[in-house]
């Protein structure tokens, strides 16, 4: 008998990141000037969020063939909206700490199997940044960050004039240009060499090419379930672009250079600096751009829902003498490494390899390779492009927002999102191993030194 409540199966990638070996959750934190109460949030979700996609009213089940599928289920939206309670007389700084602890507590908690795999948590206490916080927690199997950004476009309105559509930065992808220029024989040769080298690293890296031991990675078992600290720093996007223009790089090159420089400063401040350290970052790549979209707006309007991402394994720049190196060298080396990785078909063939493993061993096979790669490297870096103007949600002005991804088997995860002229860099760190205050201090120091070297003046750094 046909079960008409059953929807299509999860995509192969969706199944790889939603199984007993590996489970990713996305945590989106929205800082509001006016909080939602629970009835208002329920109404907002039922009117706008849930209708975006059938998956938001479906649970993940396993059919008779062992395949994960979406299935429409009966539920009450009220059961998916959680309002924690805390003492009412704390300071904003104390509520900052309560929020961080709360996010850490829900970070890796599994969803009830009989309900759709998402929740909204309302932290209705004044923090240093907002009057109230709306936290979206979603199974990554529902879709990636760009899926949710595309869906939320229908809910976000311009704060100054809701009738005018939100705009996004007019940054086009480098990928289509790279692909179109491979007609030259020399580029083809380099591309083949890069692809072979990168595929070798994919296959052997987790077992024979592990990153150096350092104060950046604890190598503790079950790191994907470890409690975390959540910290962030906000930079001016215009200042990031000034550096980009001075050195002829991209925003991603600049931010990767800042992170790489900060990592060496952190090792030095911890008293463990021994010179060059091999540290690798898994940089998340949005594969939609391979389909020829020129801007984020085009991609979002096409509504390509689901998970369409891969990883670039980037070796972070490292120097023997961190105190005397030109700070701009971190950007130059990041730029060179990123160009080389993009001039490779390794991401494409890795996807084919994961699909083959999935066919032979089920979704746990690819998950094991992805997790082994994460454990052998130092960090993951992922980013999103947000609206140019200030936005509002349900008539409530949005001061800022950030996101994290749980389930990563590393001591550090960096996420970046642009919004209304700022770039917010958030880092989720292993609690008790990474010093979050020192790390943020090193990020600020790295950006300051890079900006001074490029522009000749001191930058403005927000909280």
Give the mean pLDDT of 83-101: 96
User: Which of these ranges, 385-389, 393-397, 459-463, has the smallest mean pLDDT?
Assistant: 459-463
User: Which of these ranges, 5-19, 110-124, 295-309, 367-381, has the smallest mean pLDDT?
Assistant: 295-309
- Coil/strand/helix, residue 70: strand
pLDDT per residue over 283-307, tens digit each? 888 776 655 444 555 655 665 677 8
Give the mean pLDDT of 372-391: 92
Q: What percent of the chain has pLDDT over 70?
A: 90
pLDDT per residue over 4-43, tens digit each? 456 788 988 999 999 999 999 999 999 999 999 999 999 9
Strand order in the sheet with 412-419: 228-236, 422-430, 412-419, 379-384, 280-286, 309-315
pLDDT at 2 over 70: no
Give the mean pLDDT of 43-61: 92
Give the mean pLDDT of 357-362: 89
CATH for the stretch 184-387+409-455: 3.30.559.30
8 A C-beta contact, residue 122 and residue 132: yes
The alpha helices in 270-343, defined as continuous H runs, are 296-302, 328-342
221 CB burial (10 A radius; 0-12, 13-18, 19+): exposed
Residue that wins the pLDDT comparison between 341 and 317: 317
DSSP one-letter string for 227-251: -EEEEEEEEEHHHHHHHHHHHT--H
CB neighbour list of residue 324: distance below 8 Å, 6 or more residues apart = none
pLDDT at 175 over 60: no
Give the mean pLDDT of 67-93: 95
CATH for the stretch 6-158: 3.30.559.10
Would the CATH topology of 6-158 be identical to that of 184-387+409-455? yes
pLDDT at 180 over 50: no
On average, the pLDDT of the chain sits at 87
Instruction: Enter the pTM of the model.
Output: 0.90
Domain ranges of the chain: 6-158, 184-387+409-455
């Amino acid at each position: 008998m046909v079960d008409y409540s059953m929807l299509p199966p999860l995509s192969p990638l969706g199944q790889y990141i939603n199984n007993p070996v590996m489970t990713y959750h996305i945590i989106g934190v929205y800082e509001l000037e006016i909080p939602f109460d629970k009835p208002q949030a329920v109404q907002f979700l039922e009117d706008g969020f849930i209708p975006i996609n059938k998956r938001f009213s479906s649970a993940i089940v396993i059919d008779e063939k062992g395949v994960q599928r979406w299935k429409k289920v009966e539920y009450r939206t009220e059961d998916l909206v959680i309002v924690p309670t805390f003492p009412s007389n704390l300071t904003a700084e104390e509520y900052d700490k309560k929020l961080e602890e709360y996010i850490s507590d829900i970070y890796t908690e599994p969803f009830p199997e009989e309900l759709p795999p998402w929740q909204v948590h309302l932290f209705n206490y004044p923090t240093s940044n907002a009057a109230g916080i709306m936290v979206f927690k979603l199974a990554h199997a529902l879709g990636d960050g760009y899926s949710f950004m595309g869906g939320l476009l229908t809910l976000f309105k311009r704060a100054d004039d809701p009738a005018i559509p939100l705009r996004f930065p007019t940054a086009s992808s480098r990928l289509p240009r790279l692909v179109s220029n491979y007609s030259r024989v020399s580029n083809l040769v380099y591309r083949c060499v890069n692809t072979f080298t990168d595929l070798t690293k994919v296959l052997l890296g987790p077992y024979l090419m592990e990153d150096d031991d350092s104060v950046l990675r604890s190598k503790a078992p079950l790191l994907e379930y470890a409690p975390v600290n959540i910290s962030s720093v906000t930079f001016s996007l215009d200042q990031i672009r000034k550096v980009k223009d001075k050195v002829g790089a991209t925003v991603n090159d600049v931010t990767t250079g800042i992170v790489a420089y900060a990592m060496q400063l952190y090792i030095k401040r911890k008293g463990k600096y021994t010179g060059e350290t091999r540290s690798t970052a898994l940089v998340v790549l949005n594969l939609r751009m391979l389909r020829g979209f020129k801007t984020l707006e085009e991609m979002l309007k096409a509504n390509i829902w689901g998970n369409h991402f891969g990883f670039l394994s980037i070796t972070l720049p490292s120097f023997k003498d961190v105190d005397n190196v030109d700070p701009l060298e971190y950007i130059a080396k990041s730029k060179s490494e990123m160009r080389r990785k993009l001039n490779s078909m390794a991401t494409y063939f890795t996807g084919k390899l994961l699909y083959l493993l999935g066919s032979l061993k089920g979704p746990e096979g690819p998950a094991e390779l992805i997790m082994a790669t994460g454990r052998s490297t130092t960090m993951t870096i992922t980013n999103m492009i947000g609206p140019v103007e200030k936005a509002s949600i349900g008539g409530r002005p949005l001061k800022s927002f950030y996101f994290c991804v749980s389930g990563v088997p590393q001591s550090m995860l960096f996420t970046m999102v642009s919004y209304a002229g700022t770039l917010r860099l958030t880092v989720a760190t292993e609690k008790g191993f990474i010093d979050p205050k020192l790390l943020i201090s090193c990020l600020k120091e790295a950006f300051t030194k890079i900006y001074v070297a490029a522009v000749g003046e001191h930058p403005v750094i927000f909280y």
